[in-house]
Each structure stands twice: as C-alpha cells, then as structure tokens.
Structure 1
Amino acid sequence: MSHVHANTPFVPLGMAVLTVSDTRGFEEDGSGDLLEQRLSGAGHTLVERCIVPDDVYRIRAVVSAWVVRDDIQAILVNGGTGFTPRDTTPEALAPLFDKAIDGYGELFRQRSLATIGTSTIQSRAVAGLIDRTLVFAMPGSPRACATAWDDILVEQLDARTRPCNFVAMVRPQASPCASRQATPDRDVAEGVGA
C-alpha cells in the first residue's frame, strides 16, 4: 500500500492530454475534460491538449513532438485502447517506449474488473517511458479515465508517494524513492561495492 510522505515536497509536473477519437471534438471530450480537471486539481500543470483520429502515425506524431519538450513530463492518452480494428493506440505507442510499464495495464485491468467485469480483458491500457517522459494510455470513457487517474496515476505522479513513484525519473531534482536510495544495509544485500 502506498503512503504519502509528509516530509517530501510536492513536485508539479507539466502534462499533456491526448484524446484519440474519430468522432469527438473538444465539445464532446468528456474524458479529456476529466483528465484536465484531475491533473490540475492535483497541482500539476496542463501544458497542451489535443484530439487526433485513431491513426497510428498521427498518434505517434503528436506524442513524438511532446516527448522532446522540456515542459512536458507526462502524457495522458485516452481512447483507442480497445479491441476493434480502429483501436490502434497501443500499436502506435509501444514501439516508442524505451521502457514499458507493464504493471500499469495489469493494475488498470484489475481495478476495472469491479466495474465492467470480465470485459476488462479487452482493455489494452499501456504505459511506458520515452526519453524521460511518462506516457499512460487508457480507454476513452470518462469512467475509465477516472479509474486510471484516481486509482493509479494520482499517487504514482506524486513525489510524496512512498515507497515509490515515477516523479524522480522525469524530474531529477525530485527526491528519489526510498527503494532507489542507497543505504549501507541495502548495498551489502545487493552486493554493491563488494
């Protein structure tokens, strides 16, 4: 179970929200609205928001442009993670990942089981790290976005969460996780310096 460490300062992240949809515009983008409200409410900054059709190359183009920006540390992608022929978000993102965050998809599906039952196996929520930028993809429904943010991301994108969070990976000035800090006992156990 995660805990907020009171002596660690909050580190706001710059975030971008990408909605993948063939039919939605900003007027109908309840999922993008929800993610914008949640991240802002948590103390982070929305740097940019965009909607693109469900097309591998358009998704990659936007994400690739965002990961090279110094003001964006995390990208939240909603939509295109289902199992229909038009759902291509995982295929667009996976080749870009330097490291996949497999546990995100596993935990998302576990949390979704309570609300959508075994249909959760059709959710292909994925996440990864691209050049020091975190990318989290989730289904496009507002309920799924709320599950991803409220049950997983709000803690993992908060530098105060212990024992671990992702903030120190994208903001070097943030305090590293307790499990990543060297201690004499841990160094001996792991054979460091031996």
Structure 2
Amino acid sequence: MHSPASERTFIPVRIAILTVSDSRSLAEDRSGDTLVARLEAAGHILADRAIVKDERSEIADRLRAWCADPAIDVVISTGGTGLTGRDVTVEAHRDVYEKEIDAFGTFFTMVSVKKIGTSAVQSRACGGVSGGTYLFALPGSTGACKDGWDEILEPQLDYRHMPCNFVEIFPRLDEHKRRK
C-alpha cells in the first residue's frame, strides 16, 4: 500500500535533452531551453544535452549511448516527430525501445487537441523504455515541449504523484534481466 503523497520525499531524476535538427545550434535551441528550464525548476538534474541531425542512425546511436549511461534516467528528445521525409525521430526511438509506452502518444494527442485542435493528428510523439531508461520524443515546438512536460512528464517524473508514477517503477524496469 502506498503512503499518501504528502509523506513521500521528492526524488530528483537525471534527464538528458536531445534536440533533433538539421539547422539549430545550442544558441538557437528554444525547445531544448524550454525543457531544461522546466526540468530544473521541478528539481530534476540536467544530465546531458546534445543536438543531432535528422538522421535515424545518429539519433538511435545517441539514444543507445545515453541508455547505457548509468548517470541518465530519462531522455527527452524534441524535434523530428512530424510527417515530412526528414522526420525520423520516432523511427529512431522505436529502433531503441524494448517496450513502447503506447499511452504516452495517445495522451499527448489528447493534450494537444485542446491547444491546436485537429492539427494534433500531425504529431507522432512517443515514449518507451530501454535498458532501464525512459525515452520520450516530443515535437520541436516550444508549445509542444511545454505541454508534454507540464501535462505528462512533470507529474509522472515526480515520485510524490499518486496513485502511481514512472519514478517508483525505476527499480523494476530491467528486472527481467536479473537472475532468478
């Protein structure tokens, strides 16, 4: 049985931010800046940050490297989730996932519909797990990053959130790899 949220102590999560873009630099990365500001304001730790080109193999390689890094708990990418030929972030994420968090994309769409109406169908936000690390792909707009963080990720990455949250199951994400 869970204790009430008020009795739980906040647990900071180590988060890496990946911006997928052919044209942005860190100095121009407003969406990455938005996510960094929000995660730090919530009390979490920026574990790493990078920008990669819209190349499926480069994105997947960065995700795999961060999943192998014990100093990173969560990866949030921004950009490359649309429908154009260069939008390959979702495919790269799925190349890495061991399990997909199907409801993440569904819930993101529900949140987006309230803000942008039927245009929400053009987003392919997704989430998954690999190597005990959570991975989330958000669209590249600052509005989408705000919505994804504020409405989904901030509460789910807060151990005090009830009735359940992503943080409390961290120890069990790779239990299938342990000897029995």
Taking structure 1 as the reference length, the TM-score comes to 0.85
The aligned residue for residue 19 of structure 1 is: 19
Confirm or deny: 8 A CA contact 1:73 1:171 kept in the other structure.
Answer: no
Larger Rg: 1
1:88-144: CA deviations, max 9, x gaps?
011101121111101110010111112211011110000001111000100000000
Deviation at 1:169, TM superposition (A): 2.6
CA distance in 2, matches of 1:100, 1:163: 21
Match of 2:7, SS state, is coil
The aligned residue for residue 139 of structure 1 is: 139
Amino acid at match of 1:113: V
Question: 1:100-179 maps to which residues of 2 (within 5 A)?
Answer: 100-171=100-171
Amino acid at match of 1:83: L
Confirm or deny: 8 A CA contact 1:81 1:137 kept in the other structure.
Answer: yes
Amino acid at match of 1:159: Y
CA distance in 1, matches of 2:63, 2:96: 9
- In structure 1, the gaps of 5 or more residues are 173-194
Amino acid at match of 2:152: I
Question: 1:55-74 maps to which residues of 2 (within 5 A)?
Answer: 55-74=55-74
- In structure 2, the gaps of 5 or more residues are 173-180
Question: 1:73-88 maps to which residues of 2 (within 5 A)?
Answer: 73-88=73-88
CA distance in 2, matches of 1:101, 1:35: 20
The aligned residue for residue 35 of structure 1 is: 35
CA distance in 2, matches of 1:33, 1:126: 20
Match of 2:108, SS state, is helix
Deviating more after overlay: 92-101 vs 10-19: 92-101
State the number of aligned residues. Answer: 169
Runs of 4+ in 1 over 6 A off after TM superposition: none
Confirm or deny: 8 A CA contact 2:63 2:96 kept in the other structure.
Answer: no
Deviation at 1:171, TM superposition (A): 4.8
Amino acid at match of 1:7: E
Identity level (%): 44
Question: 1:36-55 maps to which residues of 2 (within 5 A)?
Answer: 36-55=36-55
CA distance in 2, matches of 1:78, 1:12: 21
